[in-house]
Amino acid sequence: MRFVVVTGMSGAGKETAINILEDEGFYCVDNLPARLIDKFMELVVGPGSDVDKVCLGLDVRADRSFAYVEDMLDLLKEKGYKYEILFMDASDETLVKRYKETRRTHPVAPEGRVQDGIEKEREILKNIKKKADYVIDTSRLLVRELKEELIRIFVRDEGYNSLMVTITSFGFKNGIPSDADLVFDVRFLPNPFYEDDLKHLTGNDEPVHDFVMNYSQTKTFLAQLTEMITFLIPYYVEEGKNQLVIAIGCTGGKHRSVTIANELYRAIEGKGDYGVTIDHRDIKK
């Protein structure tokens, strides 16, 4: 029996995670009243049950204080029931944006500001987040990438990437990404923009890639950047960081930064217990 409790911040992807697990054969129940958790567990693991994979969604709607939810989960553990907690998270900025796009009210602050609701909910959920077996930050995850991560953890049992590294290219003329943890300026490299046959291409195109990578300073910079990032990542994991955003910028965000971001992605992807995604923020601007 595999019993997964899915909880986390409203708007962080809890329902999406539950739907993905349901598609993978989990018996899913969302937003069960807190007082029924004990009885539900008895039913799904008791005699006659043919259920072997269960997903239970719990959020602040189940109990606004959430203390009772935590008490019920502790009681299950005392009774010898085994379960795992998946906590879905996202940055405040991402959550506010998602609420504005959907025009929904926040469950903790239905008549107030979304930001106030987010702050209150973080306080309510801080204890269960500490107890979580898995924390997935969806701030920069595509649904496809979230699905891959959940299948890796709960279907293939391949382990958990506690840190998700996002490498993003950008153009300084459009501003530095607000969520960047590490920012690298590659405007010192020769610029393909001034080559007539390259200016309308991007770093995803082979001619631009070859132009940028043809210079010795590019190779030296990339080697030292890769060495530093691979040195830093284990310490971010040890610190408990869930999301690391590495931003690489050039003037317009189409040529040099894209090339270097792609090369860094290839250099570190699949090399450790962390996930890696890539994003080219300004490539179409």
Domains of the chain, start order: 2-154 (3.40.50.300), 164-280 (no CATH)
Q: Is the pTM of this model over 0.85?
A: no
Contacts of 165 (CB under 8 A, 6+ apart): 233, 244, 245, 246, 268, 274, 275, 276, 277
Q: Residue 20, exposed/middle/buried by CB under 10 A (0-12, 13-18, 19+)?
A: buried
Torsion of CA 140, 137, 147, 275, to 10 degrees: 80
Round to whole Å and give the CA distance between 219 and 83: 48
pLDDT for 217-275, tens place per residue? 999 999 999 999 999 999 998 888 888 999 999 999 999 999 999 999 999 998 888 88
pLDDT for 195-221, tens place per residue? 999 999 999 999 999 999 999 999 999
